[in-house]
Amino acid sequence: MSSKVYEALFQDIDRHMDEYMGELCDFLRIPGVSTYPDGRENMEKAAEWILEKLRTLGFEGGLRQTEGWPIVMAEHTYRPGAPRLLIYGHYDVQPEMPVEEWISPPFEPTIRDGAVYARGANDDKGQVYTYLKALESYRRVYGEIPLNILFVIEGEEEIGSKSLLRLMREQPELMQADIFLMSDSSMLSK
C-alpha cells in the first residue's frame, strides 16, 4: 500500500498526540511491579486501566483472575470467519531499583529529547498503549476494524508468565489465532 493510504491515519494520530501522551503518562504512573507481593492494588489498577481502554474501543472481555496477577482478555469481533489477530503484551514492570540511578522518578513520566522516560515506557506499557491508540485512530478515520482481534495482556511476564502458560495449557482454544503480534520488543526506528 502507498503511504497516501495511511496519510489520514497519521494526521489523526498527530491531532490527538497531546491527548495520547497524557493518557500514556497516566498509565505509566501506575507502579505495577509484579515482583512486589503487596502490589495487588497497583497490579489490578493497571489491568483495569487497559480493560477500560479496550472497552471504550468496543472490545468485550474482562479480567481473568489467576493464582497470580489478572490477565486482560478482550475481543473485537468483526464477523465470524474473519481472520483473528491475537495481540500479546504485558502490563507488569521490573522493580525500579536502584532508584538512585534514575535521572527522574521512575513512576513520574518525563519527556527528554522527544522520548518518554518512566518504568514501563519501553517494556511493555508503551508498546501495548501504542496498539490501543493505533486502533482508536484507525476506527475514527476508516471505521470498522476488518479483523477479529483478541488482546491478551498479562501481569506476570517479568516473573515467568506462569498463569498465562497454565491458561494456554488448560484452554488452548481461547488463544487460537491466524495472526500473532507480540508487543514486547524494541522498535527498530521511530
186 vs 4, which has greater pLDDT? 4
pTM of the model: 0.93
Q: What is the chain's Cα-based Rg?
A: 17
What are the angstrom distances between the C-alpha of 26 and each of 46, 67, 71, 121, 126?
10, 27, 20, 11, 11
Active site residues: 92, 157
Residues 164-189 pLDDT 10s: 999 999 999 999 999 999 977 665 66
For residues 157 and 155, what is the distance between their CA atoms, to the nearest angstrom? 6
Q: Would the pLDDT of 1 be above 70?
A: no
Q: Where are the domains of the chain?
A: 3-182
CATH 3.40.630.10 applies to domain 3-182: yes
Cα pseudo-dihedral 70, 174, 54, 156, rounded to 10 = 30
Residues 12-65 pLDDT 10s: 999 999 999 999 999 999 999 999 999 999 999 999 999 999 999 999 999 999
What are the angstrom distances between the C-alpha of 71 and each of 17, 99, 116, 154, 187?
28, 28, 26, 4, 24
Helix 17-28 with 125-142: angle, nearest 10 deg: 150
